[in-house]
């Protein structure tokens, strides 16, 4: 055994020497550093670390995060690059504080390679497992490979399989970077465990005699929600207005109600004028146009069949708004961006139609509006979780709570929400927001949840045949206004 390890080290050293001859000076330094630690890196690891200004420090943190010994080191073994996203500051109109984009995807690195998928899920597991371990019940959690038959054990893993059994039991397979383990749950007398595929959880229990099954005898521990806190508040009573799912271009776009909304913003309608954001922010939370080929036989529902003309109509509509209203637009699944999430901002071909004052963000995006952190996500992942819990499309706030509890905007992989294999997980809820706004399901709702205000503004489109088939019951022609200083809210109805 000693001879075999010595032979592996000699072969490893030879491979390092061959590789080093083909690398630039910075890459040679990375190879040498890893060779001293008996690690053989993939070329992608060498190139990425050599190009990074703090590459060796990044590698050191990655090795500290690894569990168990390694001979080879791939991209999937690295922690996310030690670069916090640089906030992007956009000057707002008039006297408004600037719009700060605190976190969003800036460019895609998804190339379809296996290493990217590994890196994506490693980032998810590392980030969420740390949050799970913040719960006192999980502070002594051990790796799945370290389990022994004696005594109680606490473990943290990502859910690989969920299988309901008879007698209100459930068999779940957990994974961590080194092993897999089957765990057995007893469902509660009332309600259900609502365990999602691919979420990260912690459990405690006793191992079976064979050592291949953990019988859970405690609650499911999910990622920590953070300390009790007061939400961020603006220093002045600025108003933020939220709308979603305009679906301009659809034959069911509610033109009359929209015209009332525009007239109201211009002060021409005697209705809750104290809520007109003059100046203030107007956030459009995705699906601003109906797009094309978004669902079967959509062309029969379209009034405008050219997607670029749909955006031209949107541009003309926004030109009717007062200039002291700061407009912010993020895309949704009907917009002219990739369907995979995270979605980049609308393309330059669209943006160049609009005045420079209009701000375009990715989906999702974390914004700072006058000191208030606003997490904006269109909400496509609702299509996945609506079938996993006792949830319906007309109750979006319940689905939003499920996402916050899991600290992830799209926890289910391989369902109806395609996720891009980026080298880090942009769908993680890395910090709890002050306001969480979604769209997609065309239902309106407002509710405080712990220290987060949940909003879903609804839609500006009446029901299509496809929506009827999907179970969407539109709650149209509404906007939600929020006083960013007091967090007082008002649902504004423009149906008549």
Give Rg (Cα) of the chain.
25
Cα separation values, 214 from 68, 217, 466, Å: 21, 9, 44
pLDDT at 478: 97
pLDDT at 19: 41
List, in sequence order, every residue forming a beta bridge with 368; answer none if it has no partner.
100, 373
- Whether the CB-CB separation of 277 and 267 falls below 8 Å is answered with no
d(CA 346, CA 335): 8
Q: What is the mean pLDDT of residues 24-40?
A: 82
Average pLDDT over the chain reads 89
Q: What is the mean pLDDT of residues 330-351?
A: 96
Pick from 480, 142, 105, 432: which is nearest to 285 by CA? 480
Q: What is the mean pLDDT of residues 233-250?
A: 96
pLDDT at 83: 56
Q: Please state whether the peptide bond connecting residue 364 to the residue before it is cis, i.e. omega within 30 degrees of 0.
A: yes
- Give Cβ neighbours of residue 273 (< 8 Å, ≥ 6 apart): 264, 267
Q: Which of 228-237, 277-286, 308-317, 368-377 has the lowest mean pLDDT?
A: 228-237
**pLDDT, tens digit, 9 for 90 and up, residues 119-178:** 899 899 989 998 999 899 998 899 998 887 777 899 999 999 999 998 889 999 999 988
- Confidence bin at 367 (pLDDT 50/70/90): very high
pLDDT at 230: 77
pLDDT at 84: 64
- Look at 14 and 270; give whichever has higher pLDDT: 270
């Amino acid at each position: 055994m000693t001879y075999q390890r010595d032979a592996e080290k000699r072969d490893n050293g030879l491979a390092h020497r061959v590789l080093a001859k083909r690398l630039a000076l910075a890459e040679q330094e990375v190879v040498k550093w890893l060779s001293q630690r008996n690690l053989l890196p993939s070329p992608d690891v060498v190139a990425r670390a050599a190009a990074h200004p703090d590459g060796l420090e990044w590698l050191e943190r990655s090795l500290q995060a690894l569990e168990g010994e390694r001979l080879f080191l791939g991209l999937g073994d690295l922690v996310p690059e030690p670069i916090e996203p640089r906030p992007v500051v956009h000057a707002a109109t008039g006297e408004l504080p600037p719009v700060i984009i605190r976190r969003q995807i800036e460019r895609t690195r998804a190339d379809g390679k296996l290493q990217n998928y590994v890196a994506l899920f490693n980032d998810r597991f590392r980030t969420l497992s740390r949050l799970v371990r913040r719960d006192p019940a999980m502070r002594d959690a051990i790796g799945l490979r370290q389990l022994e038959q004696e005594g109680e054990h606490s473990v943290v893993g990502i859910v690989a399989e969920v299988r309901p059994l008879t007698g209100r039991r459930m068999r779940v397979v957990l994974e961590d970077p080194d092993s897999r383990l089957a765990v057995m749950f007893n469902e509660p007398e009332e309600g259900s465990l609502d365990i999602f595929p691919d979420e990260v959880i912690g459990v405690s229990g006793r191992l079976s005699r064979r050592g291949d099954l953990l019988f859970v005898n405690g609650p499911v521990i999910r990622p920590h929600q953070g300390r009790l806190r007061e939400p961020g508040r603006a220093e002045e009573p600025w108003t933020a207005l939220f709308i979603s799912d305009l679906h301009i271009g659809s034959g069911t776009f509610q033109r009359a109600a929209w015209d009332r909304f525009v007239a109201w913003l211009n002060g021409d309608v005697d209705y809750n004028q104290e809520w007109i954001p003059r100046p203030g922010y107007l956030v459009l939370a995705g699906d601003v146009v109906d797009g094309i080929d978004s669902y079967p036989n959509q062309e029969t529902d379209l009034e405008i069949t050219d997607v670029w003309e749909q955006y031209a109509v949107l541009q003309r509509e926004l030109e009717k708004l007062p200039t002291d209203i700061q407009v912010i637009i993020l895309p949704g699944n009907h917009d002219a961006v990739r369907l995979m999430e995270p979605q980049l901002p609308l393309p330059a071909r669209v943006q160049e139609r609009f005045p420079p004052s209009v701000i375009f963000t990715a989906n999702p995006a974390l914004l700072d509006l006058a000191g208030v952190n606003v997490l904006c996500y269109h909400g496509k992942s609702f299509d996945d979780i609506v079938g996993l819990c006792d949830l319906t499309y007309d109750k979006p706030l319940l689905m939003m709570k499920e996402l916050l509890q899991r600290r992830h905007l799209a926890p289910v992989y391989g369902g109806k929400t395609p996720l891009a294999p980026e080298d880090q997980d942009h769908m993680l809820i890395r910090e709890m927001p002050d306001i969480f706004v979604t769209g997609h399901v065309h239902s309106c709702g407002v509710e405080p949840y712990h220290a987060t205000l949940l909003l879903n503004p609804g839609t500006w489109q009446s029901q299509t045949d496809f929506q009827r088939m999907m179970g969407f019951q539109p709650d149209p022609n509404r906007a939600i206004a929020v006083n960013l200083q007091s967090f007082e809210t008002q649902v504004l109805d423009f149906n008549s």
